Structures are given as C-alpha cells and as structure tokens.
Amino acid sequence: MVLSITSHALESLTPGRIAAAVIVLTVSTFIADFTWKPRYTRSLPRVGCGGGLLGTLQNWFYYVSRYNSWVAEGYENYSKHDRAFVVPSAPSRPQEIVVPRSQTAWMLELPDRVLSAKEAHRDTLYNDYQFFGDDDEFPIQTIHKHLARNLAGLIPGTQEEVHGAIDATLGTDTENWKSVNLWEAWLGIVPRVTNRIIVGAPLCRNQEFLNSQVAFADDVVRNSFFLDMFPRIFQPLVAPFFIFANWWHWRKSYLNAKPVIEQRLNDMARKASGVEPAYEPPEDMITWLIRQAKTEGLDAELNAEMISKRILPVEFAAIHTTVMTGFNLILDLVSSDPSLRYLETIREETARVFAEEFGAWTKNGLARLHRTDSAIKESMRLSHFARALTHRKVVAPEGLTNTVEGWHAPYGAFLMLDLAGTHHDPELYEEPDKYDAWRFSRQREKYEARPSTEKTNAEEAMRIKRLGMVTTSAEYLPFSHGRHACPGRFFVAHELKMILAYLLRNYEIKSLPERPKGMWLGSTIIPPVQVKIEIRRRKGAL
C-alpha cells in the first residue's frame, strides 16, 4: 500500500508540476517578505515603477539596472527642493528614504538608540552570516581609541611597506614598458601596506595570508549582492552555501596568523606579569585588540581565533575601499588631458617635500602635499563606487518623525544620503562631471600666497583648513559624515599619498585616450577591472 502511494506520488511529479510548485513557492515567499517590510507614509514621494504588489515586483525586477537612474531622478525632482523621497531596494531589503542634503544634520545627529549606523551596516553586509555572527563594534571602538594616537609612529613602517610593495608588484625594469593590469596592481600594493598596521611585519608580506584576506573581502561583496536577491525567509537556508567561501578563506588566513597572534599574546602577558618589563609590542591592530580587551576585562577576546575574526571587518573595509579609491585615482589622472601636467606636478610636489623631509615621510610632510591631497580628494568626489555610503536604520520601537517635513519612519526603516547626486551637483561644484585635480588646492594656494596681514579672519582660515580630503561635510561624503565617519580615513590619506608619491617619482605611466567606464549593478559600480596601463621604471629612481 505504501509503495503504491509512493509510486503514484512520484508519477504525479511531472517537470511541469515541479516548475509550477517552485514558482508558487518563490512568489509566496516574496509576498511573505513583502508583508514584514516597513510601510512609509503616503506623503513621501516615490520613484521607480510604482507601489502595491505589482509595482513592487517590477521594482525588484528592474532594481539591478535602474536603481542609479531612480535615485538620480529623485535627487533632481525632490532632494534639490529639500524633500525626502522613497527609492526601491533589492528584493530582500526595505525601501529606503533618501534624505535631502539640507536635512543631513537632522539625520546624523539623532542618537544611536533611534537611528543606528551599526545596525544598518550589519543588515547591509549580513554580518550574522558573513562575519560568523561576531559583533564588529569592538574592533571599531578599538580603532577609534588607538589609531589616531599612534598615527605618526605608523608612518615609517608604512613607508617601508609602500616602497617594497610597489617594487615587488611593478618591477624595476628601466628599459622596457610593461603592460600592467591596474586592478591587480592595486591588489598587490594595498593589502600588504594596510596589513602593516593590522598584523605587522613580516606577516603583512605573507602572500597566502594576503590572498586569503582579499578573497574574503570579495566573498563579502559577492554574497551581499546575492543575499539581497533572496527573500529573508530563505536566507537561513541559502546563506550557509554562500558563506562557506568566507569560512574557507578566514581559516586559511587564521592558520597563517595564529603563531603571530599567540606569540603576541604570550609576550604581552609576560610584560604585564613583570617577567619581561622592557618588552614593547609593535603598534598594530593585534596589539590594540589585546590591549583593549585587557582594559575592558574581556577575557573571551584574548585568544588567537577570536582576534583573527575581529580583524576581518577591518580587513574588509580597508582593502575593498582603498583599492577602489586608488584604482579610480590613477584612471582619473592618466585619462586627463596630458597638457594639464597632473602627473608631473604631483611628482614635483612630492619630490620637493620628500627632500625637505630628508627622505622620510612625517605627518607634517604629508600634510604639506596640498596638490596631491586635492588630486585624491577630487577623484573620490567624482569617481565614487556606490550611489550612497551613509545609511541608517530606525531602531526605536516607536519609529521617528522628521521634524522638517513631518513624515514618519517606522521601526526597521532605512534612511540614506545620496552621495552621487551631491557630488555631481552643479550648484555645489563647478563642472561637476569633470576631473579637476586642483579643485581643492587652488583655493588653499591663493590663501597661502596672501601676506600674513590679510590672514586674520579665523573663519576663513578654518574654511581653508577644511579643504583637505579627510574633512567630511554634507557636500563631501566618501568617508560618510558625522560621528560615524570612517575612523581610518586619516591613515588612508597618508597611505594613498605615500603610494602616489613613490609611484610617480619612480615610474612613468602612459596616458589613456579616454577613461574606461564602470557598470552600475544595483547600488554599486562594477569597476573596469580589465584595464591595463603601460608603465616603466624611471631611470635614476629612488
């Protein structure tokens, strides 16, 4: 009897019925997903394909190809008139309220118990899956407390790593031009340099360790996109298949880092117990995590496995964004009109200041690279890699009410600032779609050229000082803005300046006839990673 029922059931499972069942199940889960998402007041204007279930399905279908144009449309029609609007999001995510620039202060000054950057990041990157459920708050707090105070002391080691990484990646042939994949070149430089302050030398030169960290960062980006496409009800089922790669790459990096971390734990314990009082640990992320855990009495943090997991979000943020920034910077420079002499001018400035610093970069010396700083800042303004980088999630159970327009955002709602619209607004930047390397240094140079008797206006002096790339504002958002602005931006500024200085002083790069374009994929840009440049070591290079 049982066999007969089973046989009959199997015979009824035709391909058509199986396909129909899959379709019904998929649609049902998306509909179920739709019901939990926050609802926004009708007073908020919308962009996209419309509302309701049918409009929502269309928005999901077109999200990958039209998201950027939707937000651009909303910026012109609403943001520039000081109005918020709602933009469709990926299938698994709630729609977002795009807050106009004029309301930036209102949004960013709300307390974390109402509007949370941490929860927005966790949801966007699926931290519970991708970072093995570990809270990224501890490493972020550690960076805030230790990086800035050690910044000046990190410069010599960073300089050493910049020189070694560039030489190893680009070679030292002064006779022949070499065709180099620009993306791979930056992947050869940034992870090694960045890891000098994360894990220290010599681990920062261990290629297997570096490859694993780069692969992990790639896993996070790829998996975030795919998980965005699945209904939340499915995510616990499908996430383990996606994040197996995360676990594999973390495991490989951990096996390389374990002896270093365990030795550091042992050495710092011996110093604390008085056995080796003269021992001074290297100033890097491993030391800071240990130091912070001991300060807070967090014994569970004091083991190699936990420390290796704590550095994962730091590795991801530092590698992914810095590679993208450096890649875009070189493309912007070499595709500009050669008659503007951008490369030559930066080469001259960095060589002059480097000589004044007696061949060793200092915090003060790097701060004097005004045109270099401007060239990097202008690239970050123009060649962004996401539509927005500032997101907040409403975590107050009662939601929040906008004090300017009066709309209400319920618990679970997402708010964002439109970086791309702001950076390309002609009311803020003259010829905003043009790369003008000296856009920000020009004002500073005019100010510096004036006699001291004309520099008595404190407000003007502060405005000039704020032209640097690390200063955030409602008009300049690559590092976000407010109290949750990127805590590592000061190191990134030093890192990029040293890389650009050494690269242009020691290598010639041929111009490109035009700038290769990336491709929008949802809310992010896929860079033209196949681009190659022609490069050659300069004769008599340092």
For 364-451, list the strands marked E by DSSP. 390-394, 400-401, 408-409, 414-417
CB-CB contact of 97 with 412 (8 Å): no
What separation, in Å, do the N-terminal and C-terminal C-alpha atoms of the chain show? Answer: 86
Strands 414-417 and 96-99, how do they pair?
Answer: parallel
DSSP letter assigned to residue 508: E
CB-CB contact of 320 with 213 (8 Å): no
Q: Which helix (H) or strand (E) segment is 116 a member of?
A: strand 115-116
Taking alpha carbons only, the member of 267, 282, 307 closest to residue 202 is 282
For 252, half-sphere exposure in the C-beta direction (CA atoms, 13 angstrom radius) is 16
Taking alpha carbons only, the member of 316, 308, 309 closest to residue 222 is 316
Across 127-157, b (16+ Cβ under 10 Å) vs e yields bebbbeeeebebbbebbeebbeeebeebbeb
To which residue do tokens 């199986």 refer? 18
The three-class DSSP label of residue 537 is strand
204 in a known ligand binding site:
no
Q: Which helix (H) or strand (E) segment is 525 a member of?
A: strand 524-526
CB atoms within 10 A of CB 540: 7
The three-class DSSP label of residue 176 is coil
CB-CB contact of 76 with 45 (8 Å): no
CB-CB contact of 80 with 99 (8 Å): no
Taking alpha carbons only, the member of 321, 325, 214 closest to residue 206 is 214
Residues found in the chain: 542
425/485 Cα distance (integer angstroms): 22
471/22 Cα distance (integer angstroms): 51
Q: Which residues are annotated as a binding site?
A: 486
Q: Which residues are annotated as a binding site for heme?
A: 486
